[in-house]
Structure 1
Amino acid sequence: KYVQAGQAPFSLLALTLEVAARQNDVKVIDQAYALKEKLMSGQLDVIGDVEPGPDGFSPRDRKCLYLLSLIVGYSLRLQRHDAALDAIRELATLTREEDTLVALAYVRVLLNLFEVDAAEKVMRSTIEKGNVEEELIELHKGLLCAARAQTTQDFEDAMAHFIRVLEIQPSSAVAINNQAICLLHLGRLRDAIHLLESALHRDPEALLDEGLVFNLCTLYDLSCPDGSKEKKVALRRLASKYGRQGFNLDVIAISN
């Protein structure tokens, strides 16, 4: 009852939101914004709120950043890209500058909205400001190229960027997943399956991502609809052993 009344400590209220998000409660976004408004209006007491930390943010600001980040992630899961974009803009305002990670998150949302030209403009501006790691530059160039390839069919160019990312960071789930998608578009289904399988067995703890696993299951179905059950059972076993706490095994759909 204290949680419902908003009288519980912030940490408990935040935990309640995270649990609701894992249960796919569609009210999470509105609840997170309501909690943020209580923080900003002073309705929730935050210890040490007056004194900013070394990063220049007060405890109240940092809690707002956390809530906005939660809103961005959950909005993207629900394919509510406009809501994600609104939260990202608030993040940029709260951080008082176009922080690199915020700007790159903005790029990804724009790509999900198929605003490729706008995404490229933000990406170019971010790179020009400097201090962007090569891995992030190559990854987002790959995502831009992959988005354009939906029209041009030039998936080789996009794949080259993802390969470069993996030379820098071999356990980049985003790069591996997108390289596999490029291979599929190029008609190289077996290569795509081999890429994902090899990655999962090489570093299962780092790469057991629901999106990557779901895509591998889809590729199994495309490759051999009648013979995918055995491979999915093995994949579920791997996920049960190495998957992080809360890993959603339902992404591995096994037909009877």
Structure 2
Amino acid sequence: MTESPPVCQNPSRFTDPLTNEFGSLNDLVPDLASLQDLATRGSWRTIIDNVSRARSQSLLTQPHHHLTYLAYNTLALMKLRRFDEAQQELDSLEDFNSSGYQYETYPHIYPNRTGSMVPFSLRWLYAVLPIKLSNRQVGLDRFYELLDFVREKLARKLAEKLEESVKSWKKREIFVLNCLIGYHLSSKEYNVCFDLMNESIGRGNGLDPILVSKLGFIQMQVGDLEGAKKSFNRVEEMLNEGKFEDGLLSEVEFRNLVSRNKALIYLVGKDYVSAVREYEECIERDYNDIVAINNKALCLMYLRDLSDSIKVLENALERVPTVALNETLVVNLCSMYELAYVNHSDIKRTLSSWIGRVAPDDFDSSCTRI
């Protein structure tokens, strides 16, 4: 019952945003807005069909069109666990540093535009796919290379004093760091996690609330409760100092991060009532905070209030299915059914039937354990 480390929670959101120098999204890439909408809804099979149709009808007329569609197609294949096919897509590419992927190679198509046209999401997919294919070390090596690439870009944007670009690349740095820390944490490589955290803080990321919260989470994993409290208190101090104004987190997101951190400390002390109170405050601020919803239900279960814990999860699924419908929450709900009801198999079958109608294409329905 802990807050999961953010290991690429919603990769579809990390498709590299193209600049709006060219006008609308569809001026940049045909039907890009439609692909983004399909990704948001988890319609991965439809994305694959659309990409195939665009390719067969020769709708992709410019170099960056092909890269953007390939990124969506690879992501969709990965989400559907068709990892070998996703790898085949990536194998069709040249080296990312190839001149064929530079805007200046095509001055007649991209006048006055320079740099790489490779979407950031494609670089991320290149790193994550080996891990999905059980080549963990290859994937980790690529993630470290991606981190170096991001930091190089960030340093350049800082030197050029491009504030918006700095924010964008800073978010990517934190994202890649969280991916790396998450993978090392899943293998209980705590020392590596601490080294990454300390090195990042030394680079000036000590004021990032997500990173400092992650430090506190890892400290809890190794039993350093006092260290975790200090880290979480530092995050709360940042909130009180108005650090959310830098745009990395909204004020609501920041306040919920602080509340969830407090709840974790209460959980360690088995003070489930206080933890529930913190999670309820999160939900009041943002009813889409699925971590707070899930953990509130688990706290109620530990308080032997199975009826209310089931209601919390069922209400979330009914109110915000696109957010709440994830395997962890459904596994927890099914476990509660098994504890609460003799006829839990029938109830789980009803749930599974509903999931079949509303779930995104990549949802693993086996989590209902029918």
Name the CA shift for 1:108/1:51 in 2 (closer, same or farther; >3 Å). same
Structure with greater contact order relative to length (CA < 8 Å, sep ≥ 6): 2
AA in 1 matched with 2:163: P
Q: Tell me the secondary structure at the aligned position of residue 119 of structure 1.
A: helix
The farther-off stretch of 27-36 and 59-68 is 59-68
Q: Supply the distance in 2 between the matched residues of 1:127 and 1:59 (Cα, whole angstroms).
A: 24
Give matches, 1:1-256, under 5 Å: 7-8=95-96, 11=120, 12-22=122-132, 26-27=136-137, 28-37=139-148, 39=149, 51=160, 53-55=162-164, 57=166, 64-78=173-187, 80-129=189-238, 130=240, 131=242, 133-149=254-270, 154-224=271-341, 227-244=343-360, 246-254=362-370
Name the CA shift for 1:239/1:59 in 2 (closer, same or farther; >3 Å). same
Quote the offset at 1:55 in angstroms.
Answer: 4.7
Quote the offset at 1:8 in angstroms.
Answer: 3.2
Name the CA shift for 1:246/1:101 in 2 (closer, same or farther; >3 Å). same
AA in 1 matched with 2:136: V
Q: Tell me the secondary structure at the aligned position of residue 163 of structure 2.
A: coil
The farther-off stretch of 52-61 and 85-94 is 52-61
Quote the offset at 1:108 in angstroms.
Answer: 2.4
Q: Supply the distance in 1 between the matched residues of 2:94 and 2:171 (Cα, whole angstroms).
A: 19
Q: Supply the distance in 1 between the matched residues of 2:190 and 2:336 (Cα, whole angstroms).
A: 26
Structure 1: which 5+ runs fail to align? Answer: none
Name the CA shift for 1:205/1:5 in 2 (closer, same or farther; >3 Å). closer
> 1:139, 1:162 within 8 Å by CA — same for their partners in 2?
yes
Q: Supply the distance in 2 between the matched residues of 1:83 and 1:244 (Cα, whole angstroms).
A: 35
Name the CA shift for 1:238/1:69 in 2 (closer, same or farther; >3 Å). farther
Q: Supply the distance in 2 between the matched residues of 1:143 and 1:13 (Cα, whole angstroms).
A: 34
Name the CA shift for 1:240/1:164 in 2 (closer, same or farther; >3 Å). same
AA in 2 matched with 1:177: N
- After superposition, what is the alpha-carbon deviation per residue over 1:105-138, rounded to whole angstroms, capped at 9, x for unaligned? 2222323333322111111122223236433322
Q: What's the RMSD between the two structures over aligned residues?
A: 3.6
AA in 2 matched with 1:31: R
Name the CA shift for 1:186/1:41 in 2 (closer, same or farther; >3 Å). closer
Q: Supply the distance in 1 between the matched residues of 2:331 and 2:195 (Cα, whole angstroms).
A: 28
Q: Supply the distance in 2 between the matched residues of 1:5 and 1:199 (Cα, whole angstroms).
A: 42
AA in 2 matched with 1:167: E
Quote the offset at 1:193 in angstroms.
Answer: 1.4
Q: Supply the distance in 1 between the matched residues of 2:296 and 2:195 (Cα, whole angstroms).
A: 29
Structure 2: which 5+ runs fail to align? Answer: 1-87, 98-117, 245-253
Q: Report the TM-score, using the length of structure 1 for normalisation.
A: 0.76
Quote the offset at 1:146 in angstroms.
Answer: 1.0
Larger Rg: 2
Name the CA shift for 1:112/1:208 in 2 (closer, same or farther; >3 Å). farther
AA in 2 matched with 1:97: G
> 1:189, 1:223 within 8 Å by CA — same for their partners in 2?
yes
Quote the offset at 1:77 in angstroms.
Answer: 4.8
Name the CA shift for 1:123/1:188 in 2 (closer, same or farther; >3 Å). same
- After superposition, what is the alpha-carbon deviation per residue over 1:50-88, rounded to whole angstroms, capped at 9, x for unaligned? 745315739877654442232133344555554444434
> 2:290, 2:324 within 8 Å by CA — same for their partners in 1?
yes
Q: Report the TM-score, using the length of structure 2 for normalisation.
A: 0.55
The percent of aligned pairs where both chains have the same amino acid is 22
- After superposition, what is the alpha-carbon deviation per residue over 1:138-176, rounded to whole angstroms, capped at 9, x for unaligned? 222112111121xxxx31121111112222112211111
The farther-off stretch of 168-177 and 125-134 is 125-134
Q: Tell me the secondary structure at the aligned position of residue 57 of structure 1.
A: helix
| Residues paired across the two proteins, number | 245
Q: Tell me the secondary structure at the aligned position of residue 247 of structure 1.
A: coil
